Amino acid sequence: MKLIRAIIRPDKLSDVMKALYQAEVQGITVYHGQGHGGETSAVATYRGTTVKMELTEKVILDIGVSDTFKEPVIQAILNSARTGDVGDGKIFVIPVEEVHRIRTGERDKAAVTPVTEAARSIYNSNPATHRMER
């Protein structure tokens, strides 16, 4: 298994999410951060204080996948997050020792494969327990 960590522009998040869903990636974690990737720093002025903003807003995606899913995920992100300007971001592929799905206790490859239709229908029949499983 691999953990794919992508650092992208915030305004590209919608495009990337769409591309990932089209590649049938089902599990994703998103968080916001700040970083510097060699892009030109914006200059801002607040009253008399002029500053160079060395850090820009970034969005970080963590996606746990089985090895067969690695390439489709990378291609999906590469194609959807690219603008061609400095600051488009990075993708890191990190080896993963173990994965456990908390709900079922499934582990490793079974835990990173998409949720089965049978399991999904259980959630849909009881919206109170429904959560972001995609």
Partner 1 sequence: MELSIGRRQLAGPALAAAKRLWIPAILLLVFAEGAGAQEAAISAADTSWMLISTALVLLMTPALAFFYGGLVNTKNMLNTMMMSFVALGVIGVLWALVGYSLAFAPGSGFVGSTANALLRGVGSEPNGTIPHMLFMAYQATFAIITAALISGALIGRMRFGAYVVFIALWGLLVYSPIAHWVWQSGGWLFTRGALDFAGGTVVHVNAGAAALVAAMVLGGRAEYGKRAFLPHNVPFVLLGAGLLWFGWFGFNGGSALASNEIAALAFTNTLLAPTATLLVWALLDHLRTGKITAVGGATGIVVGLVAITPAAGFISPMSALLLGGIAAFPSYFAIQWRSRTRLDDSLDVFAAHGVGGATGALLTGVFASAVANPITGMDGLLRGNPGIMIVQATAVLASFAYSGAMTFILLKLIGLVMPLRGSARDEGVGMDILNHGEEAYLHGDGAVLLLDEEINGSR
Q: Name the minimum Å distance from CB 121 to partner 1.
A: 23
Residue with tokens 């959560």: 131
Residues 15/81, Cβ–Cβ less than 8 Å: yes
Quick one: which of 21, 29, 37, 55 contacts partner 1 (CB under 8 A)? 55
Amino acid at 69: F
Looking at the Cβ atoms of 43 and 118, the one nearer to partner 1 is 43
Q: Is 97 exposed, middle or buried (0-12, 13-18, 19+ CB in 10 A)?
A: exposed
45 is a contact residue toward partner 1 (CB under 8 A): yes
Q: Name the minimum Å distance from CB 105 to partner 1.
A: 36
Quick one: which of 44, 110, 119, 122 contacts partner 1 (CB under 8 A)? 44
Distance CA(108)–CA(118), nearest Å, equals 20
121 is a contact residue toward partner 1 (CB under 8 A): no
Looking at the Cβ atoms of 43 and 102, the one nearer to partner 1 is 43
Site for partner 1 in 64-83 (CB under 8 A): 83
48 is a contact residue toward partner 1 (CB under 8 A): no
52 is a contact residue toward partner 1 (CB under 8 A): yes
Q: Where are the beta strands (DSSP E) in 28-101?
A: 29-35, 42-46, 49-53, 56-65, 89-95
